[in-house]
């Protein structure tokens, strides 16, 4: 038996106090999962019981330990996996959660079966943070599933509108709450800027373009490198320009592939890979620009919001919910999605900005986050939604 795991398969007390149970049923640790972990930690800090369910032995389970978040094992969720149905039914019987929050839509299928098996009245919510509602879901099965969801919470107007168009769901159940940033933790910080650059051996006056998150082809890792340092790229003739990626390689050896390409482009000493860090808030202040060349249709790039909160000018594609994050030319720059030529043009424009103009734009980015994407304001909106749905928001023992 795993140390700290009881005979029922989860740590003692993990489901105590009728917790908010957050389902993170994949072994990855993307922005979606990190948001879920932060959400659980915030509830705990408010005195509200919360627990995370995720595959055992993965990065999420490790993060729960380091963050002090109660954890229960859950297999990877597929639509009709009987193991997942049985496990979820066990959660409903044992913990009687205040609410179950799923972050991926395939979780609603086994959740519905678990509800039928247990006759549970626990409210189920879907925090819809992946995709853009592109799959039509108006068939009889989905009508039933959505009828039994308490709410679907997208984090961008773009996604909300797609859901209303393509899903057979009561519009009153679709509540858009945009992502928020802890503006005390993520902030401009000259000391962090100096420390990060010193750790990488970068000159204090180097111009640094950075990116955080998974290092993956669909995140545009190779595209950004090629666009910046390839033929005609704005970084070709700038010895002071450095590109930094902070995160996990999607497969072993991918970082070596990128390093080899940087060397072939004559930028070996200006391309840097930094392993994933829990304190990513200490990384952003070291950047002058944050660039994201993602090829997928992102709903809302949380990493771009983090960079903006740290006073870093973003360069992101004008697609999905990202179009709602700022005003082009005021707090950052947009380029046409999946268009390397336009990305090259916009990077050149951003690099050509005089330092005072870039500093003004960085300050505007920070102000935008303070006004529209504050974590505290976001949590107040979630708690208000819970109360409207009749979900208790009193601390354990205070119901």
What is the per-residue pLDDT across 279-317, written as a single tens digit (0 to 9) for each?
Answer: 999 999 999 999 999 998 777 889 999 999 999 999 999
266 burial (CB, 10 Å; 0-12 / 13-18 / 19+) is: exposed
- Interval 150-177 mean pLDDT: 94
- List Cα–Cα distances, 253 to 61, 246, 258, in angstroms: 25, 15, 9
Buried/exposed code over 231-244 (b: 16+ C-beta within 10 A; e: otherwise):
eebbbeeeeebbbb
pTM (2 d.p.): 0.91
Task: Give residue 32's pLDDT.
Answer: 86
Assign residue 15 a region (left: φ > 0; alpha: ψ between -120 and 50; beta: otherwise): alpha
**Radius of gyration for the alpha carbons in the chain, expressed in angstroms and rounded:** 22
Please say if the pLDDT value at position 229 is more than 70.
yes
Whether the CB-CB separation of 111 and 135 falls below 8 Å is answered with: no
**CA torsion angle for 263, 266, 268, 272 (degrees, to 10)?**
-110
- Which of 357, 358, 315 minimizes the C-alpha distance to 340? 315
Q: Please, what are the domains in the chain?
A: 20-180+375-388 (3.40.50.2000), 190-372 (3.40.50.2000)
Q: How far apart are alpha carbons 78 and 82 in whole angstroms?
A: 9
What is the per-residue pLDDT across 63-122, written as a single tens digit (0 to 9) for each?
Answer: 999 999 999 999 988 888 899 999 999 999 999 999 999 998 889 999 999 999 999 999
Please say if the pLDDT value at position 6 is more than 80.
no
Please say if the pLDDT value at position 8 is more than 50.
no
- Which of 317, 324, 325 minimizes the C-alpha distance to 294? 317
Task: Give residue 133's pLDDT.
Answer: 54
pLDDT band at 254 (very low <50, low <70, confident <90, very high): very high
Q: How far apart are alpha carbons 323 and 216 in whole angstroms?
A: 22
What is the per-residue pLDDT across 315-332, written as a single tens digit (0 to 9) for each?
Answer: 999 998 899 999 999 999
Between 296 and 241, the higher pLDDT residue: 241
Q: How far apart are alpha carbons 224 and 58 in whole angstroms?
A: 29
- Kindly state the percentage of the chain with pLDDT values over 90: 82
Task: Give residue 14's pLDDT.
Answer: 87
Task: Give residue 119's pLDDT.
Answer: 96
Please say if the pLDDT value at position 397 is more than 60.
no
Whether the CB-CB separation of 118 and 88 falls below 8 Å is answered with: no
Task: Give residue 135's pLDDT.
Answer: 79
- Which of 171, 159, 169, 148 minimizes the C-alpha distance to 100? 148
195 burial (CB, 10 Å; 0-12 / 13-18 / 19+) is: middle
What is the per-residue pLDDT across 342-358, written as a single tens digit (0 to 9) for each?
Answer: 999 999 999 999 999 99
Between 374 and 1, the higher pLDDT residue: 374
Please say if the pLDDT value at position 134 is more than 90.
no
What is the per-residue pLDDT across 41-69, written as a single tens digit (0 to 9) for each?
Answer: 999 999 999 999 999 988 999 999 999 99
247 burial (CB, 10 Å; 0-12 / 13-18 / 19+) is: buried
pLDDT band at 2 (very low <50, low <70, confident <90, very high): very low
Q: How far apart are alpha carbons 274 and 166 in whole angstroms?
A: 40
The sign of the torsion formed by the CA atoms of 247, 316, 285, 229 equals positive
Task: Give residue 174's pLDDT.
Answer: 97
Task: Give residue 4's pLDDT.
Answer: 40
Task: Give residue 116's pLDDT.
Answer: 96
Task: Give residue 12's pLDDT.
Answer: 56
Task: Give residue 396's pLDDT.
Answer: 61
Which helix H or strand E contains 335, and what residues bound it? strand 333-335
């Amino acid at each position: 038996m795993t140390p700290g795991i009881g005979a029922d398969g989860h740590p003692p007390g993990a489901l105590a106090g009728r917790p908010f149970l957050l389902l993170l049923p994949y072994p990855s640790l993307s922005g979606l999962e990190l948001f879920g972990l932060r959400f659980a930690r915030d509830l705990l800090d408010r005195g509200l019981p919360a627990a995370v369910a995720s595959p055992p032995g993965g990065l999420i389970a490790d993060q729960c330990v380091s963050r002090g978040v109660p954890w229960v094992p859950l297999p990877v969720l597929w639509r009709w996996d009987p193991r997942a149905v049985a496990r979820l039914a066990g959660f409903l019987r044992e913990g009687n959660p205040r609410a179950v929050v799923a972050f991926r839509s395939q979780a609603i299928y086994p959740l519905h079966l678990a509800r039928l098996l247990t006759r549970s009245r626990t409210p189920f919510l879907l925090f819809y943070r992946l995709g853009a509602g592109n799959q039509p879901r108006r068939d009889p099965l989905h009508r039933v599933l959505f009828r039994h969801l308490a709410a679907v919470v997208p984090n961008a107007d773009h996604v909300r509108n797609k859901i209303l168009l393509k899903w057979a769901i009561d519009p009153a159940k679709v509540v858009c709450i945009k992502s928020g940033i802890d503006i005390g933790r993520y902030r401009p910080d000259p000391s962090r800027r100096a420390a990060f650059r010193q750790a990488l051996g970068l000159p204090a006056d180097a111009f640094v373009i950075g990116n955080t998150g998974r290092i993956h082809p669909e995140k545009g890792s190779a595209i950004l490198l090629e666009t910046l340092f390839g033929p005609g790229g704005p970084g070709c003739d700038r010895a002071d320009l450095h590109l930094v990626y902070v995160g996990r390689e999607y497969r072993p050896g991918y970082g070596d592939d990128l390093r080899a390409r940087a060397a072939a482009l004559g930028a070996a000493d200006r391309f840097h890979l930094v392993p994933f860090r829990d304190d990513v808030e200490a990384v952003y202040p070291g950047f002058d620009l944050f660039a994201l060349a993602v090829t997928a249709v992102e709903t809302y790039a949380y990493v771009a919001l983090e960079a903006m909160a740290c006073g870093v000018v973003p360069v992101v594609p004008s697609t999905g919910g990202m179009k709602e994050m700022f005003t082009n030319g005021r707090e950052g720059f947009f380029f046409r999605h999946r268009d390397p030529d336009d990305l090259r043009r916009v990077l050149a424009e951003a690099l050509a900005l005089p330092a005072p103009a870039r500093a003004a734009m960085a300050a505007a980015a920070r102000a935008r986050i303070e006004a529209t994407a504050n974590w505290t304001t976001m949590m107040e909106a979630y708690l208000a939604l819970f109360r409207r749905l009749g979900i208790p928001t009193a601390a354990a023992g205070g119901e």
